[in-house]
């Protein structure tokens, strides 16, 4: 009876293991992917082009080196697929506005000092003058900021959802094999 339970448990674990060993959906050879291995954190990421491999490994043609590297699926903690390059025009416009506003306000304070701006019989306080020049500088700064941001492209990554479960194994002290099934709900 005990042997039957063990065999049944192993049989139940084999099917999810086979499903897990298949490449995640949408990942076809030629796709650009980024892999993080267990225990390496974000610094241990490897990016490259997916090349055909076995059912239990992911093979990458690494960026820059052209070297193919096979990584077992059991050692991978995270897989991300590239969704292409995207421009950063909106961020550039925002940064350009802030930089231009700062330069405009600083220029007004330097130019008009603590006396403010006098036009005829009217005197405008330095804070108001600095605010107006900050607005002008911000609007002017948006143009180069947007252009620089649009030409500054970054790669957009989308995480490939991991399976809801994980099977691990290790050598048992008695010479057998301990298997563990971890299921997330």
Helices 126-151 and 89-112, packing angle to 10 deg: 150
Residue 96 and residue 49 share a domain: no
pLDDT score, position 111: 85
pLDDT score, position 79: 83
Residue 93 and residue 146 share a domain: yes
pLDDT score, position 138: 95
pLDDT score, position 23: 46
Token pair belonging to 180: 């563990």
pLDDT score, position 2: 67
Question: What CATH number has the domain bearing residue 76?
Answer: 2.30.30
CA distance 2 to 90: 64
Residue 108 and residue 59 share a domain: no
Q: How far is CA 22 from CA 27, 56, 69, 84, 157, in A?
A: 10, 7, 18, 24, 21
Cβ proximity of 85 and 155 under 8 Å? yes
The domain total for the chain is 2
Q: What is the pTM of this model?
A: 0.53
Residue 76 and residue 10 share a domain: yes
Residue 140 and residue 50 share a domain: no
Cβ proximity of 153 and 141 under 8 Å? no
pLDDT score, position 185: 47
Cβ proximity of 97 and 148 under 8 Å? no
Domain containing residue 58: 2-85+155-183
Residue 69 and residue 25 share a domain: yes
Give me the tens of pLDDT residue by residue for the chain, a chain 185 residues long.
666 566 566 655 554 444 444 444 556 778 888 888 876 665 578 888 888 877 777 888 888 787 888 888 777 778 888 888 899 999 999 999 999 999 999 998 888 887 777 777 777 788 888 899 999 999 999 999 999 999 999 889 888 776 554 555 666 666 666 655 555 54
Paired with 87 in beta bridges are 153
Residue 130 and residue 72 share a domain: no
pLDDT score, position 151: 92
pLDDT score, position 69: 84
């Amino acid at each position: 009876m005990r042997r039957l339970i063990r065999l049944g448990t192993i049989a139940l674990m084999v099917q999810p293991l086979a499903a897990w060993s298949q490449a995640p959906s949408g990942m076809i050879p030629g796709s650009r992917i980024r892999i993080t291995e267990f225990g390496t954190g974000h610094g241990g990421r490897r990016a490259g082009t997916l090349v055909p491999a076995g059912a239990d490994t992911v093979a990458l043609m690494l960026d820059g080196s052209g070297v193919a590297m096979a990584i077992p699926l059991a050692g991978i903690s995270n897989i991300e697929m590239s969704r292409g390059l995207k421009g950063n025009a909106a961020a550039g416009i925002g940064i350009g506005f802030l930089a231009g506003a700062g330069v405009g306000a600083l220029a007004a304070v330097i130019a008009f000092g603590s006396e403010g701006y006098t036009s005829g019989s009217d005197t405008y306080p330095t804070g108001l003058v600095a605010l107006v020049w900050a607005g002008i500088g911000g609007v002017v700064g948006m143009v180069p900021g947007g252009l620089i941001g649009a030409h500054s492209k970054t790669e957009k990554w989308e995480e490939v959802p991991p399976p809801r479960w994980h099977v691990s194994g290790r050598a048992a002290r008695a010479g057998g094999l301990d298997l563990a099934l971890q299921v997330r709900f």
